[in-house]
Amino acid sequence: MKKRIILAAITLSSISLKAQIKYGAQLHGTLNTASFTAEVDTSPEKNWKFGYGGGLFAEIPVSRAFYLRPSINYLQKRSKLTEEFIIEGGNTTTQESRIHINYIEVPFILIYNIDTNSNKWYVGAGPSFGYGISGKIEVFQTTHIGSQTQTDFYDAKAFKDIEDGGAGFKRFDFGLNAVIGMHVLEKGMIQLGYIHSLSNIANKDDFQGNKYNNRSIMLTLGYRFK
């Protein structure tokens, strides 16, 4: 009898937990830049670039105050780096690099409900795993020689090997994700987040001193189906 009671309790708990799991969809607006250092001693100006994304998420209760929110998203991570060089004869060259990378991003965020009575405000943090599915780098070079100006352009696929004419970026990206948000109406949410990449995705085989780390601020709108 005792075993039956325990088994029944476990079954009921599993059914209850399953019933409390919620699913939803979300849209992201992103503001992106990068932390970049090169093998040579340079300090390019870093500019923020807009992007977008979207995906699906689940909310899995852990306790009254905590729940786990795994999700899978398509996410753009972009940046623009601008630098000026002094070349022979005192002339200058301005180089602008535009990096456009598209990821499948899978974060696992542990959410804490600040107010357990209304469950309106929450904060959360956790790891985020990215896999680069496509991307390119566009480079514009403008050289001023006396009164003449020469502009050159070239581009490369982000994840293609350098020996094949690509940029040689690594596809896997790992970072830390922090969010703060609020539930609105009955099933909606609005959230501000930040992804701080810990992975150096720059090619290290040919350029040992190069480091490139993504940085992304995200505004997220979500809706829970259940």
Q: Is residue 214 over pLDDT 90?
A: yes
Q: What percent of the chain has a predicted confidence (pLDDT) above 90?
A: 51
- Tell me how far apart the alpha carbons of residues 146 and 197 are, in angstroms, rounded to a whole number: 42
Least confident range of 17-26, 28-37, 121-130, 174-183: 17-26
Question: So what's the pLDDT on residue 124?
Answer: 97
Q: Is residue 116 over pLDDT 80?
A: no
Average pLDDT estimate for 57-63: 92
Question: So what's the pLDDT on residue 4?
Answer: 52
- Tell me how far apart the alpha carbons of residues 166 and 202 are, in angstroms, rounded to a whole number: 12
Calculate the CA dihedral of residues 34, 37, 42, 43 and round it to 10 degrees.
40
Tokens of 23: 């699913």
Q: How many CB atoms lie within 10 A of CB 111?
A: 21
- Tell me how far apart the alpha carbons of residues 36 and 44 are, in angstroms, rounded to a whole number: 8
Question: So what's the pLDDT on residue 97?
Answer: 87
Least confident range of 98-102, 135-139, 180-184, 203-207: 203-207
Q: How big is the chain, counted in residues? A: 226
Instruction: Decide if 25 contacts 72 (C-beta within 8 A).
Output: no
Q: Which residue has the higher pLDDT, 172 or 35?
A: 172
Residue among 46, 39, 50 at smallest CA distance from 75:
50
Least confident range of 31-40, 101-110, 200-209: 200-209
Least confident range of 68-72, 87-91, 118-122: 87-91
Average pLDDT estimate for 175-192: 93
Strand, helix or coil at 225?
A: coil
- State pLDDT tens for residues 97-114: 899 999 999 999 999 998
Average pLDDT estimate for 141-169: 85
Residue among 181, 191, 57 at smallest CA distance from 119:
181
Q: Is residue 13 over pLDDT 60?
A: no
Q: What is the mean pLDDT of the chain?
A: 85
Q: Is residue 6 over pLDDT 70?
A: no
- Domains of the chain, earliest start first: 23-224 (2.40.160)
Does the global pTM surpass 0.85?
no
Q: Is residue 21 over pLDDT 60?
A: yes
- Tell me how far apart the alpha carbons of residues 175 and 217 are, in angstroms, rounded to a whole number: 13
